């Protein structure tokens, strides 16, 4: 009948509206699946929407699933979505009636194993390196001896105690600690704020500005260290105006802040060692430089002393300096009377010749004038001779005073040089006594030598009947081994071996006493 009437066999089924059918499908899907864990690769992520929600897809080789993260959930996610990141999404499956499609409403995101984390870090590293944040020319050398050290770490962990203990051992410095969480959701934000907070401190302010920063954390899993690989932390480290040392994890742990920091330390303790030098080493180096300076000064003084002695030998004596002037004065004194007489005779002859041509009165006046001139010349000559002698005498006195001064300065220099050489000789003698093995013998030890005179260090190479010589503090004794040590197997006496003679004895050769009275080295 139904075929003849043309009616459909489902004509009795109720009619559904589109909304009713969409709602039924929505309830069916949500009841059948509920909460699920879906693993896939994030695709089509462009960041949060203007509304604060995030829309993207999860895909694998054969399928694609739409995903949505609501605004309230997005701010609480431990793992932020990134393009190409392989994750495990936890949420519920639902439908979207407006597009007749199904989707997952994500409540949590997790990394899909260590491989996904490493892939995300490699992609982030590549992108930040392309911006030049890891360039070597951006890195600076930390100061040799900082006055203030800033440490960004947890104040309750063992890391800060290790850093403070190491700094105290090497070179105590003023340390400022900026407490942060070293793992968790807020780790990256707190570390970023700490680095920028230290850089914002004004120089000379109430809180001293650090000269070097240490960002430190102990070892942990790859997920625990993700906070130090966040982009904000890397940018803050690269932009830091204060040299920064990264000490996150142990030697095998690698985070992105290690590439942006000026120096990477394998451990927090190593970061403290890089921040300050060893105070004892600096003191020793300064002492060595001081000793070298004193030795150089002493050598310079010795060289100048030798030069002074050489110059002193070259200086002429006072008699040598005055010999020629004294000889000239003597010759002049000898020639002067004869010259005066000859001069007077010559003038008298001239006066006699002129006497006939002159009147007696004029002659008397002329003679008187000549006599006055001669007397004046004689007075001037006598004064000149006395002045010349006085000048030579003063030059002699000055030369004598200079020689006496040099002699007075030379004697203390010689005494100081002798004292210094005597002090050095005593130091060498003390050092020789301290390094001599006889000091060890004086404390109760003994030196054992074999028949060739070489020291014996082990009992393993000795056997019964070997000739030995034992040196004590006050002399030497010849012995024969009759047994073996506790760890050396005994060996029979060697045939044809003559007993040794005691060295250093003044009595000459003498026969050894019997075996019972012979001293032994390994006797039982």
pLDDT digits (tens, 9 = 90+) for 234-274: 999 999 999 999 988 887 778 888 898 999 998 999 999 99
Residue 50 has pLDDT above 50, yes or no: yes
Locate 485 and state its tokens.
């040590």
What's the pTM value of the predicted model, to 2 decimals? 0.45
* Residue 55 · residue 70 · CB < 8 Å: no
The Cα–Cα gap between 382 and 379 comes to 5
Share of the chain above pLDDT 90, in %: 23
Report CA Rg, the chain. 55
The Cα–Cα gap between 373 and 347 comes to 12
Helix ranges restricted to H, 204-267 = 231-239, 256-260
Q: Cβ contacts of residue 519 below 8 Å, gap of 6+?
A: 470, 477, 479
The pLDDT value recorded for residue 295 is: 92
Residue 385 has pLDDT above 70, yes or no: yes
Residue 70, CB half-sphere, CA atoms under 13 Å: how many? 7
The Cα–Cα gap between 462 and 436 comes to 27
Locate 442 and state its tokens.
């004086």
The Cα–Cα gap between 353 and 318 comes to 52
Residue 409 C-alpha from the chain's centroid? 44
For residue 335, CA distances in Å to 132, 163, 332, 375, 383 come to 103, 100, 5, 19, 17
Residue 45 has pLDDT above 50, yes or no: yes
Of 213-217, 259-263, 504-508, the poorest mean pLDDT is in: 504-508
The Cα–Cα gap between 261 and 139 comes to 7
Residue 464 has pLDDT above 90, yes or no: no
| Residue 192 pLDDT level (bands cut at 50, 70, 90) | very high
Q: Cβ contacts of residue 511 below 8 Å, gap of 6+?
A: none
Burial-class residue 289 by CB neighbours within 10 Å (0-12, 13-18, 19+). Answer: exposed
The Cα–Cα gap between 195 and 119 comes to 27
Strand bridging mode 35-43 / 86-96: antiparallel
């Amino acid at each position: 009948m139904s075929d003849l009437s043309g009616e459909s066999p489902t004509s009795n089924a109720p009619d559904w509206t589109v909304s009713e059918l969409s709602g039924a499908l929505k309830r069916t899907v949500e009841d059948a699946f509920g909460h699920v864990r879906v693993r896939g690769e994030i695709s089509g992520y462009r960041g949060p929407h203007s509304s604060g929600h995030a829309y993207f897809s999860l895909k694998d080789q054969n399928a694609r699933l739409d995903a949505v993260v609501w605004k309230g959930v997005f701010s609480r996610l431990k793992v932020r979505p990134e393009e190409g990141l392989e994750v495990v999404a936890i949420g519920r499956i639902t439908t979207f009636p407006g597009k007749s499609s199904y989707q997952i409403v994500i409540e949590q995101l997790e990394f899909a194993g260590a491989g996904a984390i490493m892939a995300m870090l490699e992609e982030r590293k590549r992108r930040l390196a392309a911006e030049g944040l890891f360039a070597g020319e951006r890195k600076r050398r930390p100061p040799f001896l900082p006055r203030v050290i800033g440490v960004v770490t947890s104040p309750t962990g063992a890391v800060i105690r290790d850093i403070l203990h190491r700094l105290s051992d090497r070179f105590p410095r003023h340390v400022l600690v900026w407490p942060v969480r070293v793992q968790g959701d807020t780790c990256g934000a707190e570390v970023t704020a700490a680095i920028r907070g230290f850089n914002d401190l004004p120089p000379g302010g109430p809180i001293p500005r650090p000269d070097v920063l240490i960002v430190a954390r102990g070892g942990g899993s790859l997920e625990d260290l993700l906070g130090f690989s966040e982009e904000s932390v890397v940018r803050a480290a690269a932009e830091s105006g204060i040299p920064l040392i990264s000490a996150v994890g142990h030697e095998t742990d690698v985070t992105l802040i290690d590439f942006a920091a000026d120096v990477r330390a394998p451990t927090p303790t190593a970061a403290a060692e890089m921040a300050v030098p060893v105070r004892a080493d600096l003191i020793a180096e300064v002492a060595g430089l001081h000793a070298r300076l004193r030795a150089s000064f002493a050598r310079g003084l010795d060289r100048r002393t030798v030069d002074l002695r050489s110059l002193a030998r070259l200086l002429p004596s006072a008699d040598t300096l005055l010999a020629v002037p004294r000889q000239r004065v003597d010759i002049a004194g000898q020639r002067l009377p004869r010259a005066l007489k000859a001069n007077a005779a010559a003038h008298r002859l001239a006066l006699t010749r002129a006497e006939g041509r002159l009147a007696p009165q004029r002659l008397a006046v002329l003679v008187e004038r000549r006599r006055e001139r001669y007397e004046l010349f004689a007075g001037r000559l006598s004064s000149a001779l006395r002045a010349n002698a006085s000048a030579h005498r003063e030059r002699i006195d000055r030369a004598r005073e200079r020689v006496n001064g040099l002699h007075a300065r030379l004697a203390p220099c010689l005494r100081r040089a002798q004292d210094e050489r005597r002090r050095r000789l005593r130091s060498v003698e003390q050092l020789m006594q301290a390094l001599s093995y006889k000091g060890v013998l004086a404390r109760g030890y003994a030196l054992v030598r074999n028949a060739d005179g070489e020291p014996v260090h082990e009992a393993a190479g000795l056997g019964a009947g070997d000739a030995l010589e034992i040196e004590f503090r006050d002399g030497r004794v010849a012995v024969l081994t009759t047994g073996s040590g506790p760890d050396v197997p005994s060996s029979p006496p060697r045939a044809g071996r003559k007993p040794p003679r005691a060295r250093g004895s003044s009595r000459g050769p003498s026969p050894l006493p019997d075996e019972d009275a012979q001293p032994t080295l390994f006797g039982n």
